[in-house]
Homo-oligomer: A and B are copies of this chain.
Amino acid sequence: MALDDRKLDVLRAIVEDYVATQEPVGSKSLVERHQLGVSPATVRNDMAVLEEEGYIRQPHTSAGRVPTDRGYRLFVDRLSTVKPLSPAERRAIERFLVGAVDLDDVVHRTVRLLAQLTRQVAVVQYPSLSRSTVRHLELVPISTTRLMVVVIANTGRVEQRLVELPLPIDETQVTTLRRLTNEKLVGSKLADTPPLVQALVDEAAPELAGATVALSTVLLETLVERHEERVALAGTANLTRGGLLDFQGSLRPILEALEEEVILLKLIGEVEPITRVRIGDENEFDNLRSTSIVSTGYGPGVTIVGGLGVLGPTRMDYPGTIATVRAVARYVGEMLAQN
């Protein structure tokens, strides 16, 4: 059944009021607060239809209506326009992000900024290693049989690992190995390492073969295969706004989910620049069925190197949140492009 324009207006009004007041909204207060030009009785009829179609529901008989996940979905897809950011917000973003000293700093500032602006839980993924290329690879001898390898990626990510060598190695050999690996690997993706490493082993002086294998094994196993992604989190205190009315009374499952990096990555680890909105039940994790997630990809220019987003109650200000998430992603991209 097709919903006419007025019914959509009613749905929009319900969503907006409920988001603002956190209370089920009735027909009378609805016509009072919005200029719908019809009587409460008419609105009631429309509500009955909306309920039948599954867009709203009553918490109990003789209470007002509350949007369902499906209702929010319709609202997001067809009834809302993205709110432009206020100048104050724009300024806040710029002020917050300038002066970051390194990638860690950028990520931390971003996640706090996002949490503060949206008043929700914010998550920011570090630039993905699998989408970075190697800018430099440094070898630091720790002892004669131990090497620390430091991988510096073009996105600013720096990762270090210890490598146990099968044979002792001296300073000049380290220098040779450093030169060889850098010649082969700089500029390529870590994921493309295997063939390059093979070439390396073939070329290397025989006495360096063992070290080369050990080195490439560590790189492959700890950086490529377990593709070491990282995330930053902030704003968990915002979960307590609305005094446990959202989240059906228990923060437990949500806090548990937020502790799992794997889950966070699945939520906000976007490959495309599209802004995604997951509402309540649409979520794949049971623990997060009472939350909504707005996420988007970011990166310098058009390429995407990571994702960021926020998590909050399904009862959230979608237009505002979407606008903020997008704006922050854009600014972060610009920051990264400068390096």
Contact = CB atoms under 8 A, between A and B. Distances in A.
A330 interface: no
A240 interface: yes
Interface residues of A, number: 32
Instruction: Report the copy number of this chain in the oligomer.
Output: 2
A162 B338 CA distance: 12
A236 interface: yes
Nearest to A241: B252
Contacts of A234: 259
A289 B222 CA distance: 42
A138 B150 contact: yes
A218 B101 CA distance: 9
A160 B157 CA distance: 9
17 contacts: A101-B162, A101-B218, A102-B161, A138-B140, A150-B152, A150-B158, A152-B160, A158-B158, A158-B160, A236-B236, A236-B258, A236-B259, A237-B259, A239-B255, A240-B250, A240-B251, A240-B255
Interface of A: 101-103, 135-136, 138, 140, 142, 148, 150, 152, 158-162, 218, 222, 234-237, 239-240, 250-252, 255-256, 258-259, 339
